Every structure is written in structure tokens, then in C-alpha cells.
Amino acid sequence: MDAESCLRNRMSIRGFKPEPVDRAVLEEVFELARWSPSYKNSQPWEVLVLSGEKKQALSREMIRLFEEGAPNSPDLAAPQGWPPTEQDNINQLYQSRREATGVDLLDPKLIKKAKKANFSFYGAPHAVYLFQEGSLSQWSLFDLGLFAQTLMLAAHAKGLGTVPQAFATDYAGEIKKFLGIPATKRLVLGLSLGYPDPEASLNKLRTDRMAVEKFVRWLE
């Protein structure tokens, strides 16, 4: 797959085939992802890949915490508000989802259902967690974002699907304890990973992006 096709066609996948990805293919993905850039080549990322019973057990634990009303404790706090331009983009997403699927993403019942789907990693055979030392600066958070994007593009190039999931870090303290990750680490992102299911309804909607003229200025 050429670079332009990879960039244009990658999308968040929320419906996966159940069969696991061969370990050799996963290793090829991470071999590509390791070339991601970082501040002074610091490479401030660590990765944990979950499969099989370990992934299922973590899903059960997160759903249990959610159903019992345990307070959210993500290492990266959720945004409390958005500037107008970004909020408009979010509103457009909600509208396009309603028009395409009839699903209202602001419905509290659907939000609960969506969280459970997140905690189940959308049925993907693999879950990936990205984390780093908690003492690292915001530059290292930026670097980990670069790594996440490189990882998702590498997966897409290999015929795999991914979706980045903030909700999968809602119970960061409990997740780190469950997975044996030191409490001093910063849990940044979860991702579902596997082969996309083309028949899944959640994979039918492709979100749009702003036109270039809306976010680029030219000075000469």
C-alpha cells in the first residue's frame, strides 16, 4: 500500500472479525511503528498487547467497575469543554452519525452502551495499551501521539483495523494494577486491533475532515 492511500483510507474500526492476528504480522506492525519520530529520539513509549483470556478478563473487570459506578480515574483528564471550531466538528460528527445510523450519540442509554463496547474492545481479538513514565513532559505526550498515529497507519498498511480509545483508560489505576504496570507510569491510550469486519454496521460510516482552506494560512 502506498503512503497516500494509507493516509486517505485509514479509519477508525469498531467491528472486527474474531480470528486473532498472527504474531509475526503484529511484530511487523511494531517494527514499522518504532520508526516514529520523537523529541531528541527519546522514544518515550511502552506498549502492552493483550489477547485471549487476559484481554477478556480485563474487559470483564472494566465493565464490572462501570456497572458498580466506580469513579473514573484516567491519567489524562477528559476535556471539560471545547472551543467553537472544535465543538462544531464534534457536532457534525453527531449529526452525520444520526443521519447514517439513526443513533444519537448524546442519548445517555447509548453512551452507556458505547462505553461497554469500548471496554469490550469492540470484539477485536487484540487490545493495545500505550503508556510512558509519568514524570515525562508534555513533549513526550506529543511523541506518544505521533507513535500512536504511526502504529495505526502501519496496522492499516498490513490490512488491519484499529480504533484509538480514551474510554479504555477510564480506570487507569485499576487497569495498571491488573496488567502489572507500575503506578508511576502514565496510561495514555487503549486501542482495539484486528481484521476489520466489512459487514459491521459501525464500519459503514466514514467521518469527513475540514477542507484545507479552513485550517491552513499562507504568508509570503
Cα dihedral across residues 197, 126, 20, 10: positive or negative: positive
Cβ proximity of 159 and 5 under 8 Å: no
Q: How does the average pLDDT of the chain come out, rounded? A: 94
Which residue reads 508534555 in cell numbers? 138
**Stretch 192-214: mean pLDDT, rounded?**
90
**Which three-class secondary structure state does DSSP give residue 97?**
helix
Query: What confidence tens digit (pLDDT) does each residue in 13-34 have?
Result: 999 999 999 999 999 999 999 9
CA 118/CA 192 separation, integer angstroms: 9
Domain ranges in the chain? 17-76+120-205
Q: What distance in Å separates the CA atoms of residue 180 and residue 163, rounded to the nearest whole number?
A: 24
Reported as type and span, the H/E element at residue 5 is: helix 3-9
| Residue 103, pLDDT score | 66
Average pLDDT over residues 90-118: 80
Give me the pLDDT at residue 57, please: 98
pLDDT band, very low/low/confident/very high, at 203 (cuts 50, 70, 90): confident
Summarised one tens digit per residue, pLDDT across range 69-103 is: 999 999 999 999 999 999 999 888 888 777 766 66
pTM of the model: 0.93
DSSP string, 135-184: T--HHHHHHHHHHHHHHHHHHHHTT-EEEEESGGGTTHHHHHHHHT--TT
CA 49 vs. chain centroid, Å, equals: 13
- Give the domain 17-76+120-205 fold: NADH Oxidase (3.40.109)
